[in-house]
């Protein structure tokens, strides 16, 4: 363009100069002597003052969300937000809305309930407060990638339609694949493991699908899984060290890349301790039995209430908002899980609890072909459907392990969202398949 576009956030650097702004009409306020236009672009909001009666008459007809080009003088003003406003403007409408939006996008609070927001996502997410979680999310993924790139991981992309279910216990969606039965991938588990044989260290960010009919604030039927897998580990603790590095990288990236979104949402970023505290599953159950009215000993998993209790305990006892629970019973973990040496009813696996919720699952995997055959047999599973997966192990695989972090859970916990759906652009759940 002849005149380069200036963003709202850049205006203060242009005081005294002619500028061209482009964006959406966020708010129009007509006073007796002046009309104020608040323009919204990807960087934020800016103010333009119209005093010329002819221009004022023209803009009086522009509804909110009209896409505008404003050319005028960047002028210092103590009254304007950010200390600068555009004066003496020429205002051109680039495109006008055909219908009013679902609610006022300029009200600092969000005057709409979650279903309304989700029904109207393409417009509703323009509200600065509703957009902010997604900026936090994007910054988190950038941090995830950067942290693993630093450790020489290779990013991979694996199929999302598969012929064999990957996660025992998690329900699958069936699809018709050219007349053959197929499933939407519940996780990249098998692919990421086999790629350890090729790259040693891999990660993937992508969608996964869970046909669990959970109607809760923390479950989605499609979510974004941040996965990593690495070879030549001693045991699951090496994986936990990578999780810690990744959490630190994600937190730092959110701080630097999404600082404004965090300020808008009053986000309190967590301290990622140099060493995240850990507790064995069996000890966690003892602790809960000793300090609460409930006795979970003998249960194969932790109930959500117990996860919340343990999280609060970690804050009290260790000053940490993160807690690793290790050693989950083999009975509750998938067949690829490595048992705990000397205590084979438990596993070399872990969950990471963050602010009361399971955020990460991971662990050491079996790596010998014979161990896989035995593990499948012990669970009454036939090896045939797993042939493609087992091929990697037939040809030599190092001791390895990995983890998966649920992106929406992370963002929701970080920003204190009451519902994970506020962190998915177009959430998919038992009731929602559109927009």
Tell me: is residue 229 an annotated ligand-binding position.
no
Beta strand pairing call for 35-41 and 44-50: antiparallel
250 binds ligand AMO (CB under 6 A): no
Question: Per CB under 6 A, which region of 34-42, 117-125, 126-134, 405-413 contacts ligand AMO?
Answer: 405-413
148 binds ligand AMO (CB under 6 A): no
CA 6/CA 14 separation, integer angstroms:
9
Q: Among candidates 46, 1, 2, which has minimal Cα distance to 21?
A: 46
389 binds ligand AMO (CB under 6 A): no
- Please identify which residue in 46, 47, 158, 187 interacts with ligand AMO, judged by CB under 6 A: 187
153 binds ligand AMO (CB under 6 A): no
338 binds ligand AMO (CB under 6 A): no
Asked if residues 226 and 203 have their Cβ atoms less than 8 Å apart, the reply is yes
CA angle centred on 42, ends 36 and 43, rounded to 5°: 75
Helix (H/G/I), strand (E/B), else coil: 300? coil
- Minimum CB separation of residue 169 from ligand AMO in Å reads 8
- Minimum CB separation of residue 245 from ligand AMO in Å reads 16
- Minimum CB separation of residue 219 from ligand AMO in Å reads 4
Burial letters 315-339, b for 16+ CB under 10 A, else e: eeebebbbbbbbbbbbebbbbbbbb
Tell me: is residue 358 an annotated ligand-binding position.
yes
Q: What are the angstrom distances between the C-alpha of 200 and each of 126, 153, 175, 398?
A: 41, 8, 32, 9
Question: Per CB under 6 A, which region of 2-10, 59-67, 138-146, 216-224 contacts ligand AMO?
Answer: 216-224
Query: Which residues face 230 on adjacent strands?
Result: 201, 401
CA 373/CA 302 separation, integer angstroms:
29
20 binds ligand AMO (CB under 6 A): no
Helix (H) or strand (E) holding 268: none
404 binds ligand AMO (CB under 6 A): yes
307 binds ligand AMO (CB under 6 A): no
DSSP conformation class of 25: E
Comparing every residue's Cβ against ligand AMO, the nearest one is: 406
- Please identify which residue in 143, 329, 356, 362 interacts with ligand AMO, judged by CB under 6 A: 362
Helix (H) or strand (E) holding 129: helix 128-150
403 binds ligand AMO (CB under 6 A): yes
Tell me: is residue 39 an annotated ligand-binding position.
no
Tell me: is residue 114 an annotated ligand-binding position.
no
- Minimum CB separation of residue 291 from ligand AMO in Å reads 25
CA 218/CA 409 separation, integer angstroms:
7
CA 326/CA 232 separation, integer angstroms:
20
Tell me: is residue 268 an annotated ligand-binding position.
no
Tell me: is residue 219 an annotated ligand-binding position.
yes
**Contact string 225-244 vs ligand AMO (x = CB under 6 A):** x-------------------
**Contact string 269-298 vs ligand AMO (x = CB under 6 A):** ------------------------------
361 binds ligand AMO (CB under 6 A): yes
The DSSP annotation for 137-159 comes to HHHHHHHHHHHHHHTT-EE----
220 binds ligand AMO (CB under 6 A): yes
Tell me: is residue 42 an annotated ligand-binding position.
no
Tell me: is residue 406 an annotated ligand-binding position.
yes
189 binds ligand AMO (CB under 6 A): yes
147 binds ligand AMO (CB under 6 A): no
Helix (H/G/I), strand (E/B), else coil: 316? helix
Rg, the chain, Cα only = 26
Question: Per CB under 6 A, which region of 18-26, 241-249, 360-368, 372-380 contacts ligand AMO?
Answer: 360-368
CA 91 to chain centre: 38
Asked if residues 315 and 269 have their Cβ atoms less than 8 Å apart, the reply is no
408 binds ligand AMO (CB under 6 A): yes
- Minimum CB separation of residue 283 from ligand AMO in Å reads 21
The residue with tokens 């506020």 is 422
CA 384 to chain centre: 35
Query: Which residues face 400 on adjacent strands?
Result: 231
What residues contact residue 7 under an 8 Å CB cut-off, 6+ apart? Answer: 21, 41, 42, 43, 44
Which positions make up the binding site for ATP? 210-212, 218-220, 358, 406-409
Which positions make up the binding site for L-aspartate? 167, 210, 361, 365
Where on the chain is the footprint of ligand AMO (CB under 6 A)?
Answer: 167, 170, 187, 189, 210, 212, 219-220, 223, 225, 358-363, 402-404, 406, 408-409
Which positions make up the binding site? 167, 210-212, 218-220, 358, 361, 365, 406-409
């Amino acid at each position: 363009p002849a005149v380069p576009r200036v963003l709202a956030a850049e205006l203060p650097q242009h005081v005294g100069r002619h500028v061209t702004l482009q964006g959406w009409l966020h708010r129009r306020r007509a006073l007796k002597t002046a009309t104020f236009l608040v323009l919204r672009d990807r960087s934020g909001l800016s103010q333009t003052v119209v005093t010329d009666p002819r221009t004022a008459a023209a803009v009086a007809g522009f509804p909110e969300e009209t896409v505008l080009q404003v050319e005028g003088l960047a002028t210092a003003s103590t009254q304007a937000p950010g200390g600068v406003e555009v004066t003496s403007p020429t205002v051109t409408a680039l495109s006008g809305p055909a219908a009013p939006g679902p609610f006022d996008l300029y009200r600092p609070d969000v005057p709409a309930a979650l279903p309304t927001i989700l029904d109207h996502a393409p417009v509703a997410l323009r509200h600065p407060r509703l957009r902010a979680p997604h900026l936090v999310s994007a910054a988190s993924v950038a941090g995830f990638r950067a942290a693993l790139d630093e450790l020489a991981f290779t990013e991979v992309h694996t199929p999302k339609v598969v012929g064999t279910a990957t996660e025992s216990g998690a329900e699958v969606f069936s699809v018709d694949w050219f007349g053959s039965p197929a499933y939407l991938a519940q996780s990249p588990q098998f692919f990421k493991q086999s790629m350890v044989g090729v790259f040693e260290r891999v990660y993937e960010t992508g969608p996964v699908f869970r046909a669990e009919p959970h109607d809760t604030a923390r479950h989605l039927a499609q979510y974004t899984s941040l996965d990593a897998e690495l070879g030549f580990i001693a045991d699951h603790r090496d994986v936990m060290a990578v999780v810690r590095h990744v959490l630190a990288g994600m937190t730092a990236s959110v701080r630097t890349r999404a600082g404004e979104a965090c300020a808008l949402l009053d986000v309190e970023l967590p301290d990622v301790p140099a060493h995240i505290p850990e507790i064995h599953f069996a000890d966690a159950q003892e602790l809960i039995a000793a300090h609460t009215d409930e006795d979970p000993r003998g249960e194969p998993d932790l109930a959500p209430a117990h996860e919340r209790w343990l999280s609060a305990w970690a804050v009290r006892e260790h000053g940490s908002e993160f807690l690793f629970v290790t050693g989950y019973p083999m009975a509750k973990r998938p067949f690829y899980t490595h048992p705990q040496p000397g205590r084979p009813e438990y596993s070399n696996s872990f969950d990471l609890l963050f602010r009361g919720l399971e955020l990460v699952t991971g662990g050491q995997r079996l790596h010998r072909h014979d161990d896989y055959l035995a593990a499948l047999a012990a669970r009454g599973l036939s090896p045939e459907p797993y042939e493609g997966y087992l091929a990697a192990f037939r040809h030599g695989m190092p001791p390895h392990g990995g983890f998966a972090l649920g992106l929406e859970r992370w963002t929701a916990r970080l920003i204190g969202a009451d519902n994970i759906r506020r962190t998915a652009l177009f959430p998919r759940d038992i009731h929602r398949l559109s927009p």
